[in-house]
Chain A
């Protein structure tokens, strides 16, 4: 066998080995990507910004601060009493758009077990969906949620711009202070109906 033909055979072997390595590498990369992409919920999770009561949380399009939380067994709205089988949580927040007018379309309470309670549609919620926030004009208002009395652990209020889909966008998570079962029971058993405050500019 001449030297030239030997080099040709070795070249073909090397070419084949490289092809196998590239093939295995591609398959391995694909398997890793598939493993990563299998948990789409985790891969596309929102960008969470957390803050305690009294501290502002800065999102992509708006900022929000939890000011205080109160509770009730009945909320009075539009001429009707709205009793609950659990307890009403009424959270006072201050919100402001950052650069452009924006609506807060999503509001929910999350408990420590991961259960999510959307803002109630039983009463008028002037701050959610209907109110357009203007840049640097803070607005103060209340949001009402219904939760069971045995709601798990510490609670947070979640706010986001889009009502249905919070993926891949900022989600403000405002930590409420510790709420014991005694407090929730006291609020739930209060026969006096609560009324949500009128939304107002924070001047």
Chain B
């Protein structure tokens, strides 16, 4: 069917280009109009995409994709354990510190937002990716918006330590903050976990799918100048 004819058919169905849609829909006429559409591969793909978008509604809509099947992560208190893999984490407090050794800011006038946590590896193998475990929000002017600038053991300040199964460690996660940013009194800490599953490409079982597991509101104690 020539394009001009098809447009004419569609205009008849919709009631004209500038006319508001009528309250009643003639289903049989709509079906007939579908038959007049030339179904190219591209149009089939678009139709399937639209149908898929509609079909997710009964299963929780797009919020399931954004927050995982269980919805938004639960809120925990300070000193409450977040269980899971490959680590369990207890947020124990927050600090605001001046730049000082062994911390080293990109600008010595900047300060550090510190989150203290007890981390214990629950996986069967030592982990080197502990920097993935925490993210913060609610503090402005962070030099690194995402990963902490430094992750270290409290006991001897080993940076980016390898943590071992069954050996809990007190770990500090430090984000450098611009000196001109407002002083934070509390931040929201998101605890992330991973899932042990076969990798899609290699088939090897690995800890993948970094996903938020819990959220903790942490007061920040200002220890600058001490």
Contacts and interface: CB of A to CB of B under 8 A. Distances in A.
Contact of B124 (A37, A115, A120, A150): A115
Contacts of B194: none
B63 interface: no
Given A81-B156, A83-B155, A121-B158, A115 B204 contact: no
B108 interface: no
A154 interface: no
B125 interface: yes
Interface stretch (B27-35, B87-95, B162-170, B176-184): B162-170
Interface string A71-96: 00000000011111110000000000
A74 to B, nearest CB: 10
Given A83-B155, A115-B124, A116-B126, A40 B202 contact: yes
Contacts of B162: 118, 120-122
A44 interface: yes
A41 B196 CA distance: 13
11 contacts: A40-B202, A40-B205, A41-B204, A83-B156, A84-B167, A86-B166, A114-B124, A122-B153, A122-B158, A146-B164, A150-B166
A11 B166 CA distance: 70
Interface of A: 37-38, 40-41, 44, 80-86, 108, 113-118, 120-122, 146-148, 150-151, 167
The 8 tightest CB contacts between A and B, nearest first, are A40-B203, A118-B126, A148-B166, A116-B125, A122-B158, A115-B165, A121-B162, A117-B164
Given A40-B198, A118-B125, A121-B162, 16 more contacts: A41-B204, A41-B205, A85-B167, A114-B124, A115-B124, A116-B124, A117-B165, A118-B164, A121-B128, A121-B161, A122-B161, A147-B167, A148-B164, A148-B166, A150-B166, A167-B204
Contacts of B128: 118, 121
A122 B156 contact: yes
Contacts of B160: 121
Contacts of B169: 85
B203 A115 contact: no
Nearest to B202: A40
Contacts of A116: 124-126, 165
Contacts of B168: 85
Nearest to A111: B165
